[in-house]
Homo-oligomer: A and B are copies of this chain.
Amino acid sequence: MNDDFTPLSQACVNIEDRGFQFADGVYEVIACFGGTFIDLDEHLERLWRSGHAINLTPHLSMEELAELIHETYRRNPYRDAMLYVQFTRGVAPRSHLISKGMLPTLVITSRQLPSITDEKLHQGATAITLNDFRWQRCDIKSISLLASVMGKQEAARLHVDEAFWLDEDGHVLEGCSTNCFAVMDGELLTHPLGHRVLEGITRKMTIRLARKHGLSVCERPWKLDEQGLSEVFMTSTTNAAMPVCQIDGNMIGDGRPGNISLSVRQWLLNHFKELRS
């Protein structure tokens, strides 16, 4: 917390921290494999972009934050870790209005990076779709996440893994904590960037690696009922790419993880390995 290293159970913020009363903060989740951080610079740049969008300027430099993230990793026992980094506006008497000269609150935690079991990968993930009721600035990675929590809760209630948000015309925007891709006639599709999807770092890497391997990628709005749709997968920092085999109770393709989805996943994992060597 800030410049202190504290056991998680003792790390506390004042109840008038604006992160606790106004969701007035931004965050990142960064994967680290055996000491190698995946795209740390890109995460930091996005954190600064998110902060800029809400007029929150971190009180330290990107280099200083990178060092604190490394130090947090080193002080924890997890070899493969996910580092959680959050800035909030800081503590002030409750008012929507932002006081002048506030000192942001910084929190970094390290946890074991979750891994997908072979069995789960073999089955593929399941999802539902929901009409998007989130705010219209999903490009900002803010802690104003209640809509996504509600989406995930509805998914859990229906015993599926993720909820995908649909725009007013039925296009798939993204998931509650993932970006979403389709394979259509052998081409990768994903919703274009804008205010309604997060500029996922794994999304970006997926597009780059797919093109490198000769796959065509098109960023355009797409629907689940389009002719030629054979696969769906979702991407995230913590899960790389994960095939989605059933949505709203309907099988995607033959209901098993598709070859292209599995290839994309492998390209990402290979890329992470290369970064380590």
Contacts and interface: CB of A to CB of B under 8 A. Distances in A.
Contacts of A8: 14-16
A146 interface: yes
Contact of A24 (B98, B134, B145): B145
A139 to B, nearest CB: 11
Interface of A: 1, 8-9, 11-24, 27, 54-55, 84, 86, 88, 93-94, 96-98, 107, 109, 111, 133-137, 142-150, 152-153, 156, 176-177, 195
Count the copies. 2
Contacts of A88: 20
B24 A146 contact: yes
A215 B181 CA distance: 56
Contacts of A109: 15-16, 94
A153 B98 contact: yes
Given A86-B21, A143-B22, A152 B111 contact: no
A15 B22 contact: no
Contacts of A153: 55, 97-98
18 contacts: A11-B15, A12-B14, A13-B20, A15-B107, A15-B109, A19-B21, A21-B86, A21-B143, A23-B145, A24-B146, A24-B149, A54-B149, A84-B94, A93-B111, A133-B136, A133-B137, A134-B135, A142-B146
A15 B14 contact: no
